Amino acid sequence: MDGQIADANRRLASADRLLGAGDGGRALEEAYPGVMGAAMVRVWLVDEPWHTQRSFQELSRMVQGALPSGFATLFEMKQGQRSFAGWRAEDARPLVDEARAYIGETVTLLDGARQAPGA
C-alpha cells in the first residue's frame, strides 16, 4: 500500500509540473494512475483481499466505486479507450486538485488503519 501511495504522490508532482508547462492532457495521464492506485488502497483497506478471492471484474467495480466523482468520469472515458489528449491545463487543474485531496484523504485512512487496535 505504501508503494501505491508513494507512486501516487510522485505522479501528482509530475502532474503539477505538466500543468505548469500548460499540458493538461499529459497531467491527467500522469495523475490518473495515481488516483487509481489510491482507490485500490481504499478497496484493500475495506475488503482485505488477502482474505477474500475476487475476480478482476469485481475488483474493477470496487475500485470504480471508490473513485472521486471527477475520476469516475475519467474512468468511463478510459473504458472507451479515449485518451486525455487535448485537455487544457486550466480544465485539468481542478481534477489534479481533486486527485491531491483524494490521495491525501487516502493517506489519512491508511494511517488510521495502522493505528487501529489490532492493526
Query: For the domain that residue 35 is a member of, what is the CATH number?
Result: 1.20.120
Q: Sorting pLDDT into bands at 50, 70 and 90, what band is 116?
A: confident
Number of structural domains (the chain) is 1
**Residue 49 confidence (pLDDT):** 64
52 vs 14, which has greater pLDDT? 14
Maximum mean pLDDT: which of 4-13, 51-60, 106-115 = 4-13
Q: Which residues contact 86 (CB under 8 A, 6 or more apart)?
A: 25
In a domain, 95, yes or no: yes
pLDDT tens digits, residue range 35-84? Answer: 999 999 999 888 776 677 888 888 888 888 999 989 988 888 777 667 78
Average model confidence (pLDDT) for the chain? 90
Report the candidate in 65, 61, 63 with the shortest Cα–Cα distance to residue 41: 63
d(CA 39, CA 32): 11
In a domain, 104, yes or no: yes
Cell of 16: 503539477
In a domain, 119, yes or no: no
Looking at the predicted structure, is the pLDDT value of residue 16 above 60? yes
Domain that holds residue 48: 2-110
